[in-house]
């Protein structure tokens, strides 16, 4: 299968909008503006790469195949490519890796690129895998492309690679001014970007700017809410359900606590609105006629209070206060807590947006300018209707070109 996929990508090495189209991309408007049967010269290569990526199942934890294909392709068109392996929790776990790629200047033999712009997105997707499909052949600007990852975030991956190749073809950038990074695990705990960040810190590797690819409706995001994942546990006393006063129902305590949490003001800000809570899973008890001794729930919080460093502590304190007000024996364990993430969005010609989901922008350490931008809508990204138009994919190529130019001051 890998050989056939690479054969399908071979044309990429030789090849070089109105809805959700950034005005900032008007420099190349003659190439980007599409009618039903007309499009930019890179349309075929862009759609071929996007199809290959979406066709490969890569739910979080199973990203190896799509990573291998990206490594082979980027190598074939002249990139220096590094497989950046993540530590394995045990010997039976798969060897997962990030893909790091840059252009090596002909007169430079360094094994690492110079500071510049990092162009990055993720290659994992949420389950289940949904096969690739396209609404019309040959494609036109309004053609709809469906499948898991068609938006989040393989659309960004394909558009970012195409954008850099177009900038090089036009002579705008050369050498290692822009580095590509495609990470694993963004949809779960962000372990791919966290690992890259720790390696970059150890190597004293810095960037002037980082462009993160996520579905922002083709608008430039001014930031996104913070995030935390928590498990709330309740303890009770088992007994016969006919005599509830002789026991203590952990499920009842947990239910009361969750209602209080959902109704509580956990912090807000003018830009990001209010902190929200999603009760993802609940479990507890052993039978309907037995007073539950234990119960637990897993919740996800979208943090709107404070800033990236302080926001989670504000929300955590309020959350703990709510739980103590219900039952002193309630326990809470949280991971990956951080406050709202600010991104740079003052770029001429781009519409702006603030998004509620989390991204890897919070997981990359360093004093760099952060941009958050990408094609497609988050509202379809995790659903069975995930899809994107050709028009929006092509507009994203122009958008990424404009952002790279802005970041490099070109």
Work out the angle between the directed axes of helices 390-408 and 43-55 (0-180°, nearest 10): 100
pTM greater than 0.85 (yes/no): yes
pLDDT of residue 107: 55
pLDDT in tens, 137-170: 999 999 999 999 999 999 999 999 999 999 999 9
Positions annotated as catalytic residues are 186
- Confidence at 91, pLDDT banded by 50, 70, 90: confident
Instruction: Give the torsion sign (CA, 372, 377, 383, 386).
Output: negative
Q: 1 near 68, Cβ under 8 Å?
A: no
Per-residue pLDDT band for 104 (boundaries 50, 70, 90) equals: confident
Short-list 142, 146, 152, CA closest to 132? 146
Mean pLDDT of the region 359-382 = 96
Query: Average pLDDT, stretch 240-255?
Result: 97
First to last CA, the chain: 41
Across all residues in the chain, what is the average pLDDT? 90
Nearest to 140 by CA among 21, 56, 68, 43: 43
Residue 396 · residue 159 · CB < 8 Å: yes
Q: pLDDT at position 341, please?
A: 97
* pLDDT tens for each residue of 12-25: 444 433 333 333 33
- Separation CA 231–CA 297 (nearest Å): 6
Concatenating the DSSP letter of every residue in 138-169 gives S--TT-EEESTTTTTTHHHHHHHHHHHHHHHH
How many Å separate Cα 379 from the centre of its chain? 14
| Token digits of residue 90 | 């045990």
Q: What is the pLDDT of residue 58?
A: 98
Block residue for tokens 């938006």: 151
Question: Given this model, what pLDDT does residue 112 score?
Answer: 64
pLDDT at 89: 87
Tell which phi-psi region holds residue 78, choosing left (phi > 0), alpha (psi between -120 and 50) or beta: left
What's the CA gap between 197 and 101, in Å, rounded? 15
CA atoms of 316 and 227, how far apart (whole Å): 11
Mean pLDDT of 375-400: 97
Distance CA 328, CA 161 (A): 53
Lookup result for tokens 């996800």: 300
- Over 70: is that where the pLDDT of 394 sits? yes
Q: Would you list the DSSP string of 227-293?
A: EEEEEEEEE-B-EETT-GGGSB-HHHHHHHHHHHHHHS---EETTTEE-EEEEEEEEE-S-TTEE-S
3-state secondary structure of 100: strand
């Amino acid at each position: 299968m890998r050989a056939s996929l690479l054969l399908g990508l071979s044309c990429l090495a030789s090849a070089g909008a109105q809805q959700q189209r950034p005005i900032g991309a008007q420099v190349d408007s003659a190439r980007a503006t599409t009618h039903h049967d007309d499009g930019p010269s890179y349309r075929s290569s862009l759609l071929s790469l996007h199809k290959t990526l979406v066709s490969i199942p890569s739910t979080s934890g199973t990203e190896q195949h799509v990573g291998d294909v990206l490594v082979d392709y980027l190598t074939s068109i002249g990139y220096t490519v590094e497989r950046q392996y993540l530590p394995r929790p045990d010997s039976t776990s798969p060897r997962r890796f990030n893909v790091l790629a840059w252009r090596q200047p002909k007169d430079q033999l360094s094994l690492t690129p110079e500071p510049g712009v990092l162009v990055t997105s993720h290659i994992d997707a949420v389950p289940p895998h949904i096969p690739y499909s396209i609404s019309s052949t040959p494609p036109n600007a309004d053609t709809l492309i469906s499948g898991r990852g068609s938006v989040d975030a393989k659309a960004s991956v394909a558009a970012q690679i195409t954008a850099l190749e177009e900038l090089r073809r036009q002579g705008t950038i050369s050498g290692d001014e822009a580095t590509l990074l495609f990470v694993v695990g963004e949809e779960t705990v962000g372990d791919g970007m966290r690992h890259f960040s720790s390696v970059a810190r150890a190597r004293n590797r810095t960037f002037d700017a980082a462009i993160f690819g996520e579905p922002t409706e083709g608008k430039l995001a001014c930031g996104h809410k913070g995030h935390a994942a928590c498990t709330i546990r309740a303890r009770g006393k088992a007994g016969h359900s006919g005599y509830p006063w002789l026991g203590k129902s952990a499920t009842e305590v947990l239910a009361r606590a969750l209602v209080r949490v959902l109704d509580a003001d956990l912090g807000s800000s003018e830009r990001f609105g209010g902190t929200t809570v999603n009760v993802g899973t609940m479990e507890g008890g052993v039978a309907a006629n037995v007073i539950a001794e234990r119960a637990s729930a897993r919740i996800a919080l979208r943090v709107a209070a404070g800033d990236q460093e302080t926001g989670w502590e504000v929300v955590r304190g309020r959350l703990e206060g709510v739980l103590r007000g219900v039952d002193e024996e309630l326990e809470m364990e949280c991971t990956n807590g951080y406050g709202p993430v600010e991104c740079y969005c003052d770029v001429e010609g781009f519409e702006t947006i603030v998004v509620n989901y989390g991204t890897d922008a919070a997981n990359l350490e360093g004093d760099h300018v952060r941009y958050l931008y990408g094609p497609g809508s988050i509202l379809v990204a995790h659903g069975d209707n995930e899809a994107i138009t050709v028009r929006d994919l092509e507009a994203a190529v122009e958008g990424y070109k404009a952002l790279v130019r802005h970041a490099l001051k070109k």
